[in-house]
Amino acid sequence: MGLTDLDLSAARKIPRLNAAVLGESLATEDDNVILPSDQFSSRAHVSSYLQYLEMYQRSIEDPAGFWSDIASSEFFWKKKWDQQVYSENLDVRKGEIKIEWFKGGITNICYNCLDRNIEAGLGTKVALYWEGNEPGFDGTLTYNELLHKVCQLANFLKDNGVRKGDAVVIYMPMLMELPIAMLACARIGAIHSVVFAGFSSESLAQRIIDCKPKVVITCNAVKRGSKVIHLKDIVDAALTESAENAVSVATCLTYENESALKRESTKWKEGRDIWWQDVVPKYPTTCTVEWVDAEYPLFLLYTSGSTGKPKGVLHTTGGYMVYTATTFKYAFDYKPSDVYWCTADCGWITGHSYVTYGPLLNGASVVVFEGAPNYPDPGRCWEIVDKYKVSIFYTAPTLVRSLMREGNEYVTRYSRKSLRVLGSVGEPINPSAWRWFFNVVGESRCPISDTWWQTETGGFMITPLPGAWAQKPGSATFPFFGVQPVLVDEKGNEIEGECSGYLCLKSSWPSAFRTLYNDHERYETTYFKPFPGYYFTGDGCTRDKDGYYWLTGRVDDVINVSGHRIGTAEVESALVSHPQCAEAAVVGIEHEVKGQGIYAFVTIVDSVPYSEELRKSLILMVRNQIGAFAAPDKIHWAPGLPKTRSGKIMRRILRKIASKQLDELGDTSTLADPGVIDQLIELADR
C-alpha cells in the first residue's frame, strides 16, 4: 500500500495518543509514540512527515527521475548511464527475473568512497577510528592514509594475479585491514566475499569451493574478550578441504595481529602463505582505478538458506552505491560533524553497507571496534562513545537486551553527551528494550532508527527518518524512498489498511541483489515464485491503523539468532552428521537476549543412552561445522518426531512443545503416531 492522503491524516492524529517528546520526558510503558522535538526536526534533512510524503511520492511515481537526480549530483561517474535508468521484471510468469539500475554508467565505488572525498577537501579528515579489544590499543586513518593503504593492497593483489572479475575471500576480524581489503578489491574490479570470522573451517571451505578465489586474506589470530581465536588454523583447514574438492588457492595473505598471537607461533605453509606486513607496505601508494559498469558485480555475501546450502547473494556496483549512501544520509540524519559507530561485523551485510560503503561514501568518520562489547566490563560501549565523541550509534537488539540486563549503572557512569541518533538492526526490537535504549542510553533525547532490511535488499527498506515523524517503540515505521511494501494473504492477494500478512515488495530499488551466484533458478524460486509479481521477504508483518509497519519475524525455516540468519536445515545437517544422531529437527524459540534461540529435537541411534556427554558432543558438532553462534541452546531428546503419514515433520507442533504452549498443539489427527507427542512432552525437562 502506498502512503496516501489517508495515511497522512492518520499520522496527523498521532499526537493525540499518549506521547513523549524527544529531550523532554522519559518514554513510559503507557506512551504509544515518541514525538520529535521542534529543535531536532528543524535541523533534520527531512523535517516533517509532509516533506517525506512529497519526496516519497516522487520516488514512487518517478523512480527514474528521483534516483538519477541523486546519482548524478552526489557521485562521480566516468560515463553516464544509458537513457533507461532502470529496467525490471519481478514476475516469473513474464519470463526471467531481472533487475538493472544505471546500466551503461561507468564508475568505481572505491573511487567514490576515497578519491572523491579527498578531492572535496576531506583528505585530512579521520576516516577510521580503530579501537582494539584491549582498552588503550587504538589507531586512526585519515582519508589520505586510508587511500594509500588501499592502493598498496590493491597493487599487491594485482601483482599476485588478481584481475577484474576474480574473487577474493576475506576472513578477518574487525581490524582496519578488513575495510581496507574490501576497498582494495573494489578498486581493481575484483569481487570480494567476506566470511564472518566466527564461521567454522567447513563453512569457510564451502564458500571457497563455491566462488573459487584467487587469494584468501586472513589474520593469524584475534582476541575477543579474553579468548584467543586462531583464525589461521581455521583457514588452513578450510584450504585443505577445498583442495580436496579440486579448488586450490595459490596465495593466503596473513596479517600478523601481534596482540593476539606472535608470528613465530603461527602455523605456516611456505610458498602459499605471505605475511601482510612483510610485503604490502612495500607497494606504491597509488593504484589505477578499474572503471566498471554500474551492473558489474561488487561482492558476494553468503547467507543461510532453508535447504542447508548457503546462498551467494550477489550485489552489483552502481545501484548499491547510490542506495547505501542515500539511506545512510537520511536514516541517520548524517551531518559532516558526526562520528559514527556501527557495532556490526563486516562479515555480515550491515558491515558492508553501514560500516564500510554507506558511511565512507558520505565522507563520515567511522569507529571500527575489534573486541567484545562487554569486555572488560559491560560499560565498554559507552567508554568508546565518550572516547571518540560518537554521535550516531547503530547496534543490534541482542546487545541492547544484554546490556539492559547488566543494569543502568554501567551506562550512567559515562557521559554519552555526544550521542544524537541511535539505531537498531538485525531483528525486531521489543518495545521494552526500545524504551530502555531510548530512556537510559539516549537520555530520552535521541531518536532511534529501528531499521528493517535484509542481506538481499542491500540497504534499509523500512526505517524511521529522525525528526520527520513520531516513532512507536518496536515499529520500523514507514518505507524508505522508492520502496513499496505490500502485505499479502496466503493466496497472494494484497491486503489494505490495518492487517497482518506476508511482507512483499513490489517494483525494484537500486540496491536489490541481482541473483544468487551460479544459481539463478534458486533466486527465482526462493524470492519470486511464492507470490508472483512480488519480491517475497520471508518475513511476517503487521500494519496498524496509523499505517506503521511492525515486523514479526521469519515465516520460513530460518532462525534469527542475534541478528545472524541461520537455516534450520544447516543445523539439522550438522547434528545428523554425528555418528550417534539418527534424526534431528530444529526450531526457533524466543530468547531473552538473542531474540531467537535454537531448539533441537534429537533422535539418537538405538541402544545409545541419553547423557550429558552426548549432549555436549552434539553441540560441539554444530560449533565445529557452522560456528559457535549456531550452537543449539537446548537439546530435547526425542524417541521419535511428529510426522504426517507422508513423512513430513510437523514443525508447528515442535514449536509449540519447545515454547511450552501445550494447550495450542492444534489438530494432531494427521500424525502417523500421535503418541510421540506425549513422549516429547515427558522428556521436555530432561
Kindly tell me the burial class for residue 93, based on how many C-beta atoms sit within 10 Å of its own C-beta (0-12, 13-18, 19 or more): exposed
Cα gap 189→512, rounded to integer Å: 20
**Cβ density class 433-456: b for 16+ within 10 Å, e for less:** bbbbbbbbbbebbbbbbbbbbbbb
How many CB atoms lie under 10 A from the CB of residue 664?
Answer: 11
Cα gap 153→286, rounded to integer Å: 10
| CA distances, 439 to each of 21, 26, 59, 235 (Å) | 11, 6, 34, 43
Helix 675-682 with 651-658: angle, nearest 10 deg? 30
Residues contacting residue 111 through CB under 8 Å, at least 6 positions apart: 76, 187, 289
Cα gap 559→553, rounded to integer Å: 9
How many CB atoms lie under 10 A from the CB of residue 620?
Answer: 13
Give the three cell numbers for residue 239.
Answer: 584450504
Whether 606 sits among the annotated catalytic residues: the reply is no
The answer for 534, left when phi > 0, alpha when psi is -120 to 50, beta otherwise, is: beta
Amino acid of residue 122: L
Cα gap 488→555, rounded to integer Å: 13
Catalytic residue among 519, 556, 633, 673: 556
Amino acid of residue 88: E
- Minimal CA–CA distance to 542: which of 528, 530, 555? 555
Q: How far apart are the first and last CA of the chain?
A: 48
Residues contacting residue 548 through CB under 8 Å, at least 6 positions apart: 472, 475, 477, 478
Length reported for the chain: 686
Q: Starting at the edge strand that comes first in sequence, how are the strands of the sheet with 167-171 ordered?
A: 273-275, 251-255, 215-219, 167-171, 191-194, 297-303, 311-316, 515-516
Q: Which residues have a catalytic role annotated?
A: 556
